[in-house]
Structure 1
């Protein structure tokens, strides 16, 4: 079983800022969310825990499985928003009104100034999951945990569902988890815990 979890809340989440590649820690709410998930998953014998290189996923994983080794997957780092990092939507609109409107009209096709192109981001996330699939091929019944970022989890969810679901409708709120069964290169949604 593959468990997907979004990292706990940070101060920049609370402030509604874009911060994909900024490396920030969990706030008190994020710590509490992670502790609640840890309690819900305490009996799951995870064979491997995968995290990005960013502190918020590492901290979430440490709370869920203290003293367990983690496999850092750089491909699971969140998408960079370039010059928009650390800004709210209002600040972006005030400083980059033309680029902001273009991005709102086509967010998967338009790239903010100095940001990572969405297709490049998507490709690297898929390269990351391909490495995990290669490991799961020999043991599809293993329970693994991926602690990720909203953009990364949406890419994975879209891929797991054969690109048949709406990218933006993937619900990965902090404090919840989603389970997928993986076998014979196919994914089956097993449930979401809210």
Structure 2
């Protein structure tokens, strides 16, 4: 089963998937925002894989995900650091784990119509997650300080939720590293 076998985010209970509509040119664009900062999302679907970048030239993450029977498997990597990603979608439930040498994150969402809600365990803290889907856009609120906006051509809701959660976790990690470097410069 692939992304194409999943129901589109905009009313994914009523419409069949459209394999012929999704091609190598299909893209997901967006950003993770918090006050005073933003982190880009630029991914492409080639028919089997979702690849691209999160972030910018500094603190950028390479993304490589493959779909396998209701699962997304792959990695986020930058500067010699790799996080393995495993997402499992069953019925209306979505489970996500990001695991690396120093850090791990997890999330659990329940998808319902054009929304999803649940929690994400990030930076040692459980954060509430609220997601809204529309035909070409996703808006996720993760915790009290961060939002993810994605523009897309109608990918499956659970796939977009995985992208939003992974981008949020990567952005938090990048901002933590940036703040630690500022602290180091200030102390020098």
TM-based fold match above 0.5: no
Larger Rg: 1
TM-score in terms of structure 2 length: 0.32
- Identify, as 1 or 2, the structure richer in helix: 1
Q: Please give the TM-score of this superposition, normalised by the length of structure 1.
A: 0.31
The structure with higher relative contact order (CA 8 Å, sep 6+) is 1
